[in-house]
Amino acid sequence: MYESYNVNSLLSCLTSIYDEKSKNIHLFNIYVNIIFYVFLCLYISINICITKRLFLGKINEVVILNIQNELLDK
């Protein structure tokens, strides 16, 4: 009886340790996923801003070139 009690207590102790570790690992995975998606959103928004600036810059260049061509034609 004594040995079985020790085995049961050892098993329950190991199970509780495993449960705590699995909870911690699960929380860690959630935090990693949140951080990943935050950085992904920031990366996408930065790229969109850069693309807008490049696109607007190209439009401005085209307008400037058209004005220069019109001035040269006169």
pLDDT at residue 73 tops 70: yes
Place of tokens 């340790």: 17
- Asked whether the whole model's pTM tops 0.75, one would answer no
> What pLDDT sits at residue 45?
77
> What pLDDT sits at residue 20?
65
Mean pLDDT of 44-67: 73
Which amino acid is it at 69?
N
Token digits of residue 33: 């996923």
Mean pLDDT of 7-27: 65
pLDDT at residue 39 tops 80: yes
Residues 63 and 51: their CA atoms lie apart, in Å, by 18
pLDDT at residue 69 tops 60: yes
DSSP string, 7-41: HHHHHHHHHHHHHHHHHHHHHHHHHHHHHHHHHHH
